[in-house]
Amino acid sequence: MAIPAKVVKIQDGKAQVDFGGGILREVDISLVDVKVGEYVLVHAGYAIQVLSQEEAEETLRLWRELLEAESSLETK
């Protein structure tokens, strides 16, 4: 299980992250290269990956595009 969180502060290989609603926790960020303001996936106290906002937007765009393209084809 891993939970997304926003990096709010970085100090000595550790980061304060916000899980939402002001739940702050210290996590180890030595497995990733991350900046303040970015989102990470946190698993058992360690950030395991940086989440890409562009890719998230792209996935949603692709979904919509695919759903719309195919349904418009079918109505023709």
Partner 1 sequence: MFEHLKFRDPDLARRIVEKIRETAPKKDVVKICHVCGTHEWTITHYGLRSLLPPTVEVIAGPGCPVCVTPASEVDEAIVLALKGVTVTCFGDVLRVPGSEKSLLDAKAQGADVRIVYSAMDAVRMAEKEPDKEFAFFAIGFETTAPSTAIEILRKPPKNLSFLISHRLIPPAMELLLGIGDLHIDGFIAPGHVSTIIGLKAYEIFPKAYRMPTVVAGFEPLDVLFAIYMVLKQLKDGVAKLENEYARAVSWEGNIKAQEIMHKAFDVVDSHWRGLGKLPSSAFKLKEEFAAYDAREKFGIRITQGRDLPLGCQCHLVMIGKIKPTECPLFMKACTPQKPVGACMVSIEGTCRIWAKFSTL
Burial class of 15 by CB neighbour count within 10 A (0 to 12, 13 to 18, 19+)? buried
Query: Distance of CA 65 to CAs 54, 55, 69, Å?
Result: 16, 15, 6
Query: Which residues inside 15-74 make contact with partner 1, applying CB under 8 A?
Result: 20, 28, 30-33, 39, 41, 43-46, 48-49, 51-53, 55-56, 58-60, 63-64, 67, 70-71
Shortest CB 31 distance to partner 1, Å: 5
Contacting positions for partner 1 (CB under 8 A): 1-2, 4-6, 20, 28, 30-33, 39, 41, 43-46, 48-49, 51-53, 55-56, 58-60, 63-64, 67, 70-71
